[in-house]
Amino acid sequence: MKLSLRARIFLTLVPLLALPAIVGAAGVVLIYRLGRSIEDILRENYDSVVAMERLNEALERIDSSFQFTLAGEEQKGRSQYGKNWKEYLRSLDIEQHNITLPGEGDLVKRLEGLTERYRRQGDWFYADIRVLGADCVGLAGSPNSRLVAATALATCDRRRLYFGGKGREGLLGTFEEIKAVSGKILAINQQNMEQASRDSRRLAVGSLWWFAGGLAAAVVLAGLLALHTIHTILQPIRAVTRSALDIGLGNLDQVVPVTSRDELGRLAEAFNTMGRQLRHYRQTDYSRLLRAQRTSQATIDSFPDPVLVVDTEGHVEMANPAARRLLGVVPRGKDQTAVLPWQPPETLRQPLAEALQKQSDYLPEGFDQAFPSRCDGRECFFLPRILSIRDPYGNTLGAAVLLQDVTRFQLLDQVKNNLVATVSHELKTPLTSIRLVVHLLLEETTGPLTAKQTELLLDARDNAERLLATINNLLDLTHLERGQESLDAQPELPATILQAAADEVRPRAEDKGLEVHVEVPADLPAVAVDRRRFGHALNNLLDNAVTYTSRGGRITLSAGARDEAVTLTVADTGLGIPPEHLPHVFERFFRVPGRSQGGGTGLGLAIVHDIVTAHGGTITCESEPGKGTVFRITLPAWTLRTGAEVTAGGMSAASP
């Protein structure tokens, strides 16, 4: 009968569990027997040994009592004699009830007889001296004389009773016999304890050998069972593993032999079923996959702009003809020798690395982020688009790169800038003449004016001033983009720059009921700025702050330093800018929809951005609707090198 894998594992584990249990039980039994044997030895022989030792100690004290009496200490002798007989008889009683060895009973009986004789001799030793003396020698005379004679004779007789004489056994002889008999009892119990100890040691050694042998047999048997089970389980698993690796390498013609009907056999059958299905899918889906690949390639080939797809290691997987002509790339699938990653232009390296590593898309919008390249013998401009490619689980598969040809738009932008510069320049001269005429008329140098004429002229003057400011902004922006002006950068303290800007805007702010505060630490380093140009940028920021801050609001100018850079901050408590419009605030002609306050053209912040960039700095905007807006300008701290770089770079730094 074929056993299942579960049954075979169970049959392997049962002996592994049963053998330690059996060996452990045998060890417990052996240890229990050894313990009981030692306990019996200690309980039986130890009691006899202790009883004989105490009996001998009491016997020694009884014998000492006789010696005290012979030395003249009769009272002390009598006291010690009576007290130690109790301990003697108690020890003798323990031994009488603890006879366990052969011959021990005869010795105890002999000890009992000697004890009885010793007790009689001792009692006779301490009998009345008159009786003792009279018994020794027949005396005649008066009672007093007989008592004196008896006392003298009693002392002499006690010595004979103790040492013996005239064929009579004395106390000393009986004492020695008792010592000899009790010593034999003590010796045979000690010998039995030693013999039992040796037997216990042999039992312990034998038990240890039996235990070790059983444990070794259990380990060997368990190892054989485990090896058999492991071999039985691993053999089909290895076959499945080898087939799975071959399938992973593309060889789908794999069949695992089915050697049993247990769980491993069912695993082999399931694996073979999977292999058949994979072969079927490969046959049915190969043409579909090939068609999808060709469709994808045809799709990107139809794009006029360069398009390419790179994997996570930077190898080009797909590229259309435009990308091949422009960048000289060859997809790895087309040329197996192209094993090195693609080296993109310098402008694309950082965005491409972030798209592959951080899944960060790169979607620039300004023409200043376009890069030039030679295309068909002429200079072209391409605006890059880099998108990370992810699977449904969020893992990065690669990146798609689209280079949008913006050459025509770049040329149109240049034409527009030239046209704006030309028109602005041509309008500025006649507009200046018109302003002069309006001012002369308002000064009534040509004659008095009526109230209506004055009103019309004032309106014409305001519109002329507004138009002139717009033209000046357009000219400034054109000059900044072309780099036609150089900066006169000088070291200036942040406190001086901000205070001058605050003083210039304060009258208008106070007219509107606004507070202007300057908060600058005294120990800040200087910055390299063109005071006129940078003051123009700060004035534009403050003009916006005053325009879009309601009465009772606050405008704060502050500064701070960190990491060899100085940050100038202009903050207000005005209307704020919605988050969706923040990315566009520095674009030309952009105005926040729905904001009708002021008569700006949307060029002020664009001019600020270009001026700050020309100074080698950066500007950011943070805002929250209803709470205000914060502009932060970061400039490098003044050094001889930074000042020279800003002066030499001039306004060309703002050019795209």
Residues 6+ apart with CB under 8 A from 482: 417, 421, 651, 655
Please give the structure tokens belonging to residue 456: 């019309």
| DSSP alpha helix (H) spans, 483-603 | 494-511, 531-547
On the question of pLDDT at 616 being above 80, the answer is yes
Q: How confident is the model at residue 141 (pLDDT cuts 50, 70, 90)?
A: very low
* Boundaries of every domain in the chain: 18-215, 303-405, 412-479, 486-654
Please give the structure tokens belonging to residue 4: 């299942």
Between 130 and 116, the higher pLDDT residue: 116
Rounded CA Rg of the chain: 61
- Give the percent of the chain with pLDDT over 90: 15
- By mean pLDDT, which of 124-138, 484-498, 619-633 is the weakest? 124-138
On the question of pLDDT at 127 being above 90, the answer is no
Q: How confident is the model at residue 150 (pLDDT cuts 50, 70, 90)?
A: very low
Q: What is the pLDDT of residue 147?
A: 42
Q: What is the pLDDT of residue 138?
A: 43
- By mean pLDDT, which of 139-153, 343-357, 405-419 is the weakest? 139-153
- Report the pLDDT averaged over residues 605-609: 85
Q: How confident is the model at residue 527 (pLDDT cuts 50, 70, 90)?
A: very high
Between 633 and 164, the higher pLDDT residue: 633
Between 478 and 105, the higher pLDDT residue: 105
477 and 610 Cβ atoms separated by less than 8 Å: yes
- Report the pLDDT averaged over residues 165-184: 83
pLDDT in tens, 38-91: 666 556 678 888 888 999 999 999 999 999 888 888 888 888 998 899 899 999
Q: Exposure string (b/e) for 230-247, b if CB count within 10 Å is 16 or more? A: eebbeebeebbeebeeeb
Between 197 and 552, the higher pLDDT residue: 552
pLDDT in tens, 351-367: 888 888 888 888 876 66
On the question of pLDDT at 311 being above 50, the answer is yes
Q: Exposure string (b/e) for 133-142, b if CB count within 10 Å is 16 or more? A: bbebeeeeee
How many other C-beta atoms can be found within 10 angstroms of the C-beta atom of residue 433? Answer: 9
Q: What is the pLDDT of residue 424?
A: 58
SS in 3 state form for 450-472?
Answer: CHHHHHHHHHHHHHHHHHHHHHH
On the question of pLDDT at 656 being above 80, the answer is no
CATH superfamily of 486-654: Histidine kinase-like ATPase, C-terminal domain (3.30.565.10)
Please give the structure tokens belonging to residue 353: 């690395």
Q: How confident is the model at residue 589 (pLDDT cuts 50, 70, 90)?
A: confident
Q: How confident is the model at residue 560 (pLDDT cuts 50, 70, 90)?
A: very high
Between 553 and 272, the higher pLDDT residue: 553
Q: How confident is the model at residue 109 (pLDDT cuts 50, 70, 90)?
A: very high
Average pLDDT of the chain to the nearest whole number: 77
- By mean pLDDT, which of 290-299, 563-572, 605-614 is the weakest? 290-299
Spell out the long-range contacts of 498-505 with Cβ–Cβ below 8 A and sequence spacing 24 or more. Answer: 498/538, 498/557, 498/558, 498/559, 498/568, 500/531, 500/535, 501/535, 501/538, 501/539, 501/542, 501/557, 502/542, 502/557, 504/535, 504/539, 504/542, 505/539, 505/542, 505/543, 505/546, 505/555
Residues 6+ apart with CB under 8 A from 549: 512, 514, 555, 572, 573, 574, 575, 628
- Report the pLDDT averaged over residues 118-139: 66
Burial of 263 (0-12, 13-18, 19+ CB in 10 A): middle
Between 177 and 1, the higher pLDDT residue: 177
Q: What is the pLDDT of residue 466?
A: 67
On the question of pLDDT at 514 being above 50, the answer is yes
Nearest in space to 513 (alpha carbons), one of 555, 544, 551: 551
Q: How confident is the model at residue 135 (pLDDT cuts 50, 70, 90)?
A: very low
- By mean pLDDT, which of 228-237, 301-310, 519-528, 637-646 is the weakest? 637-646
Q: How confident is the model at residue 635 (pLDDT cuts 50, 70, 90)?
A: very high
Q: What is the pLDDT of residue 359?
A: 81
On the question of pLDDT at 645 being above 50, the answer is yes
CATH architecture of 303-405: 2-Layer Sandwich (3.30)
Residues 6+ apart with CB under 8 A from 539: 501, 504, 505
Is the overall model pTM greater than 0.75, yes or no?
no
pLDDT in tens, 455-483: 887 878 777 776 766 676 666 666 655 55
- By mean pLDDT, which of 202-206, 387-391, 397-401, 643-647 is the weakest? 643-647
On the question of pLDDT at 166 being above 80, the answer is no
